């Protein structure tokens, strides 16, 4: 059976867990940086190319600062994400603000930061104008509807709440032009965790054709096209990662034949990947707490879906390694569970693993995106610490674990005693 490897040893984990109790998320700086450089190299043919890291995937300012050093911008969709970006010194057009059902104060902050504002609906033009004023650069998010299939995570475009129709785009750009907006962007995002490289090439072709049509019909020139993100990662050992070089070359050919050949001047290309940037380089480190045998075998961990929600939410597969028993036969079929009072709090169902005993260290792979970020406090469960394995082999804590005091921080216990009942 195919397997996944770890960038650290059992001895390393035992040393770290002596001072950092499980569960915790552990990120590999070397892997993240190398992956970021590979993505940039695949699109180096476009001088203006920029990757905007999808902050929602892993909103830790230490990791964001690493990616800033690699030349990434930040893709934000909420006020706290904007504030995080500002805290690490990312402002101006290094921020792409793409949201939906957006409140006025978020538009105000995005404009104050000089971010690229990407609108989700035709009605947002007057709303932005009234709440913050129209900036000189505005982008629209396109929903291609039946032209493009979706997937289980993001949904089919026709059913998705995001973006403009084709007809609405033409009207929207005419309105912007009439209102004095001078620079224009075009964006789409129609898939998540997609492993087929041709999907991204096809998406770029649709956008390039559309941009050429709008440019000719409306009389505008696009400053950039954001072909979105959604590049998946091989969660299963038998899967292959997306061939970034193939995507880059396919997009280059489409850019030349479908945009430049039609008379549109050169423009900047952007992407907004999150999962593929940090996902494969984050690990949820946890321990077996109990082993229960009833109608089947349940291996209970000290982590739960507050630490990694994807298996419960999507039925998603995450590979599991037991470092101390990596060479033993996987002859025990079990459910790997957390302690939440929800029966779907499971990291794996009917998974073949070595026989586990309380105290065994367990590593859950590919938890570097949409892992800690999706955590919650339901059932009084607290979110775990985040650690970073530096390139020099040292480990630093980049977020402490939550405590009961954090859980109670928004409650006014002083007002409880005199509260009449």
Tens digit of each residue's pLDDT (9 = 90 or more) over 359-402: 999 999 999 999 999 999 999 999 999 999 999 999 999 999 99
User: Looking at domain 29-278, which CATH architecture does it have?
Assistant: Alpha-Beta Barrel (3.20)
Domain 280-406 top-level CATH class: mainly beta
pLDDT of 159: 63
Does the pLDDT value for residue 246 go beyond 80? yes
pLDDT-derived band of residue 256, with 50, 70 and 90 as boundaries?
very high
Q: What percent of the chain has pLDDT over 90?
A: 94
Average pLDDT of span 82-91? 98
pLDDT of 1: 52
Q: Are 167 and 157 in contact (CB under 8 A)?
A: no
Ordered by start, the domain boundaries in the chain are 29-278, 280-406
Answer yes or no: same fold for 29-278 and 280-406: no
pLDDT-derived band of residue 61, with 50, 70 and 90 as boundaries?
very high
One-character DSSP codes across 58-106: ---HHHHHHHHHTT-EEEE-SHHHHHHHHHTT--GGGEEEE-SS--HHH
pLDDT-derived band of residue 155, with 50, 70 and 90 as boundaries?
low
Question: Could you report the per-residue pLDDT of 222-238, keeping only the tens digit for each?
Answer: 999 999 999 999 999 99
Is 334 annotated in the active site? no
Average pLDDT of span 53-73? 98
pLDDT of 46: 98
- Cα four-point dihedral sign 300, 306, 312, 318: negative
Q: How many other C-beta atoms are found inside a 10 Å radius of the C-beta of residue 256? A: 12
pLDDT-derived band of residue 190, with 50, 70 and 90 as boundaries?
confident
Give the predicted TM-score (pTM) of the model. Answer: 0.95
- Distance separating alpha carbons of residues 291 and 305, to the nearest angstrom: 18
Question: Could you report the per-residue pLDDT of 292-329, keeping only the tens digit for each?
Answer: 999 999 999 999 999 999 999 999 999 999 999 999 99
**Residue 4: half-sphere exposure toward Cβ, Cα within 13 Å:** 25
Does the pLDDT value for residue 258 go beyond 70? yes
Question: Could you report the per-residue pLDDT of 108-145, keeping only the tens digit for each?
Answer: 999 999 999 999 999 999 999 999 999 999 999 999 88
- Distance separating alpha carbons of residues 214 and 223, to the nearest angstrom: 13
Catalytic choice (58, 273, 304, 341):
341
Q: What percent of the chain has pLDDT over 70?
A: 96
């Amino acid at each position: 059976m195919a397997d996944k490897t770890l960038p650290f040893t059992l001895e390393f984990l035992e040393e770290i867990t002596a001072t950092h109790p499980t569960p915790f998320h552990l990120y590999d700086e070397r892997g993240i940086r190398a992956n970021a450089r590979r993505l940039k190299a695949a699109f180096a043919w476009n001088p203006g190319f920029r990757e905007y890291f999808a902050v929602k995937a892993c909103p830790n300012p230490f990791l964001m600062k690493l990616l800033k050093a690699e030349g990434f911008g930040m893709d934000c969709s909420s006020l706290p994400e904007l504030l995080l970006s500002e805290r690490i010194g990312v402002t101006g057009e290094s921020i792409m603000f793409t949201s939906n059902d957006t409140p006025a104060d978020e538009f105000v902050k995005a404009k104050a930061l000089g971010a690229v504002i990407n609108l989700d609906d035709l009605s947002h033009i007057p709303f932005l104008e009234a709440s913050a004023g129209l900036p000189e650069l505005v982008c629209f998010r396109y929903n291609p509807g039946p032209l493009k299939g979706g997937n289980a995570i993001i949904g089919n475009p026709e059913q998705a709440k995001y973006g403009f129709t084709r007809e609405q785009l033409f009207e929207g750009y005419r309105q912007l032009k009439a209102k004095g907006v001078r620079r224009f962007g075009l964006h789409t995002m129609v898939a998540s965790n997609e492993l087929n490289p041709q999907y991204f090439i096809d998406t770029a072709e649709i956008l390039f054709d559309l941009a050429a049509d709008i440019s000719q019909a409306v009389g505008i020139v696009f400053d950039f096209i954001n072909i979105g993100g959604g590049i998946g990662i091989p969660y299963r050992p038998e899967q292959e990662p997306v061939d970034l070089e193939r995507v880059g070359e396919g997009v280059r050919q489409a850019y030349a034949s479908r945009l430049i050949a039609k008379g549109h001047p050169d423009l900047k290309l952007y992407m907004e990947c999150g999962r593929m940037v940090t996902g494969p380089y984050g690990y949820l480190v946890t321990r077996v707490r109990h082993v229960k045998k009833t109608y089947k075998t349940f291996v209970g961990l000290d982590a739960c879906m507050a630490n990694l929600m994807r298996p419960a939410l999507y039925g998603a597969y995450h590979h599991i390694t037991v470092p101390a028993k990596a060479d033993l036969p996987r002859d025990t079929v079990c459910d790997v569970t957390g302690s939440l009072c929800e029966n779907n709090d499971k990291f794996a169902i009917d998974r073949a693993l070595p026989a586990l005993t309380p105290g065994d260290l367990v590593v859950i792979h590919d938890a570097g995106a949409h892992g800690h970020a999706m955590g919650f406090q339901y059932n009084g469960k607290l979110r775990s610490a985040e650690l970073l394995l530096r390139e020099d082999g040292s480990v630093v804590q980049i977020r402490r674990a939550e405590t009961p005091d954090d859980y109670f921080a928004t409650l006014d216990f002083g007002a409880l005693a005199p509260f009449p009942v």
